[in-house]
Amino acid sequence: MDSAELWRLVEAQREDMVRFAQALVRTPSMPGQEAEVAALVQAEMQRLGYDKVWADEAGNIIGRIEGGDGPALMFNGHMDHVDAGDAARWRHPPYGGEIHAGELWGRGAVDMKGALAAMVCAGGLVKKAGIRPRGVRYVCAAVQEEVGGLGSRHLARTLRVDRAVIGEASGNQLRRGHRGRVELVAHLAGRSVHASMPDLGVNPHFSLARFVAGLRAMEMATEPAYGASTVAPTRVVSEPESANVIPSHLHLVLDWRNIPGESPAEIVTKADELLARSLEPDCRGEVKIAMKELVSYTGLRMAFVDVFPSFTTAADDPWLVEAQAVLSAAWGRGVEVDTWRFATDGGHLAGAGVTVLGFGPGDDAVVHTVEERLPIDQLVESAVGYLALSLA
Ligand SMILES: [Zn+2]
């Protein structure tokens, strides 16, 4: 299908698609509370004539479009979003779905209900065009991406596909990977005493201070396309919590962003060795990967180590090269290939052997902020792109 025809098809659905994106933004769907927005997605896929639409055990909504024997392709967008915070800080209400100066405002507009609306719309247009794709196409609306990816972890185990497109924001430029995220906890144990007589106890704060200073000086792994791994000490919890007691235990969370190729096991070893060197006499310590347990709105429970895997699709991967050409022809402009700075559900799918790339409308700099807004023109362009890849 040529570019003009792709645009004609999408433009004819523009109003419906924008209305659907607005309805999604107007339906808050914090992680674990996606039931209502899932029902909207399911109804829209049914209305658009998908061959099969269902909710899986995790509550992900899956729309299937039959195709030939070629590679099966999944379009993946998550339904949850981060908290909007204080609504008074927003220029327009976070769940208003208002459009101002050609931009859809609100929490989730960019991350990533806009992309999800475009994917759902593009799937419907494949049916409308009456073209049988080379392979089966799925549009998957996943739950709980923002808290660890229960939805896409489940998809990776249960839905066999060869390729996936992640719709996270990229200003409609291609992305072929990202660093991972590993949540570590440094546990330190000293000896608790009354804070008026510190010489009788072992205060783990001093060892922790040496450890934190060591983290800043630590040499991090690097990779040309992804830059360096980073580590950020974030939350610290002391036990007991009282202000006039020397704590017996400290727990410091480390947010470690690892480049592809640096494994969680290597990271734990590196951090644990630094901690061992940082401990003062009589203080003990250990670094572990945090565990996480999530429950979906359907009641599916999943426990896992708190790792958002990195992924990387080779710069010369044949499908990536093809996708770049297809998108460039559809959009009538050059398409850059780069990497995302943040983690996505793509790592879960890549871990199951799926070739992953991605693009989505919107500016990633406004994601998770009170400035979140999506240019409608980019929304439309992304739908053209998803349609072009479906039909390629
Ligand atoms: Zn997202």
Pairing label, strands 73-78, 163-166? parallel
Taking only the tens place, the pLDDT of each residue in 368-377 is 999 999 999 9
Token pair 């783990």: residue: 204
For ligand 1, the distance from its centroid to the CA atom of residue 71, given in whole angstroms, is 25
Instruction: Report H helices in the chain.
Output: 3-12, 14-25, 35-47, 114-129, 150-158, 204-217, 264-278, 318-331, 346-350, 376-391
For ligand 1, the distance from its centroid to the CA atom of residue 114, given in whole angstroms, is 11
Taking only the tens place, the pLDDT of each residue in 121-135 is 999 999 999 999 999
Looking at the DSSP assignment, which residues form a beta bridge with residue 338? Answer: 175
Taking only the tens place, the pLDDT of each residue in 4-21 is 999 999 999 999 999 999
Over pLDDT 70: what percentage of the chain? 100
For ligand 1, the distance from its centroid to the CA atom of residue 180, given in whole angstroms, is 14
Report pTM. Answer: 0.91
Q: What is the pLDDT of residue 90?
A: 98
How much is the average pLDDT of 41-68?
A: 98
CA distances from 264 to 268, 313, 346 (A): 6, 19, 17
Q: CA 155 to CA 379: how far, in whole Å?
A: 25
Q: Give the residue among 143, 111, 125 at the shortest CA–CA distance from 41.
A: 143
Q: Give the residue among 320, 312, 315 at the shortest CA–CA distance from 261.
A: 312
The answer on pLDDT for 333 being more than 90 is yes
Q: Give the SS3 label for residue 60.
A: coil
For ligand 1, the distance from its centroid to the CA atom of residue 142, given in whole angstroms, is 10
Q: Check: CB of residue 118 under 8 Å from CB of residue 361.
A: yes
Over pLDDT 90: what percentage of the chain? 98
Q: CA 264 to CA 270: how far, in whole Å?
A: 10
How much is the average pLDDT of 236-256?
A: 97
Q: Check: CB of residue 362 under 8 Å from CB of residue 155.
A: no
Q: What is the pLDDT of residue 1?
A: 87
Sign of torsion over alpha carbons 249, 252, 253, 254: negative
Q: What is the pLDDT of residue 37?
A: 98
Q: What is the pLDDT of residue 107?
A: 98
Neighbours of 224 (CB within 10 A): 6
How much is the CA Rg of the chain, to the nearest whole Å?
23
Taking only the tens place, the pLDDT of each residue in 19-32 is 999 999 999 999 99
Q: CA 140 to CA 152: how far, in whole Å?
A: 9
pLDDT grade, residue 161 (50/70/90)?
very high
Q: What average pLDDT is seen over the chain?
A: 97
For ligand 1, the distance from its centroid to the CA atom of residue 371, given in whole angstroms, is 15
Q: What is the pLDDT of residue 376?
A: 98
Report the largest interatomic distance among the alpha carbons of the chain, rounded to a whole angstrom. Answer: 80
For ligand 1, the distance from its centroid to the CA atom of residue 286, given in whole angstroms, is 32
Neighbours of 295 (CB within 10 A): 12
Q: What is the pLDDT of residue 369?
A: 95
For ligand 1, the distance from its centroid to the CA atom of residue 218, given in whole angstroms, is 30
The answer on pLDDT for 247 being more than 90 is yes
pLDDT grade, residue 354 (50/70/90)?
very high
Q: What is the pLDDT of residue 302?
A: 97
Q: Give the SS3 label for residue 278.
A: helix
Q: What is the pLDDT of residue 378?
A: 98
Q: What is the pLDDT of residue 235?
A: 94
Q: CA 118 to CA 358: how far, in whole Å?
A: 13
Neighbours of 213 (CB within 10 A): 11
Residues 6+ apart with CB under 8 A from 272: 286, 287
For ligand 1, the distance from its centroid to the CA atom of residue 187, given in whole angstroms, is 30
How much is the average pLDDT of 34-49?
A: 98
Q: Give the residue among 126, 117, 234, 119 at the shortest CA–CA distance from 185.
A: 234
Q: Check: CB of residue 220 under 8 Å from CB of residue 260.
A: no
Q: What is the pLDDT of residue 221?
A: 96
Q: Check: CB of residue 142 under 8 Å from CB of residue 29.
A: no
For ligand 1, the distance from its centroid to the CA atom of residue 306, given in whole angstroms, is 17
Q: Is 142 left (phi over 0), alpha (psi -120 to 50) or beta?
A: beta
Q: Phi and psi for 119 in degrees, rounded to 5?
A: -65, -45
For ligand 1, the distance from its centroid to the CA atom of residue 284, given in whole angstroms, is 38
Taking only the tens place, the pLDDT of each residue in 181-233 is 999 999 999 999 999 999 999 999 999 999 999 999 999 999 988 999 999 99
Q: Is 171 left (phi over 0), alpha (psi -120 to 50) or beta?
A: left
Task: Report which secondary-structure segment, H or E, holds 145.
Answer: none
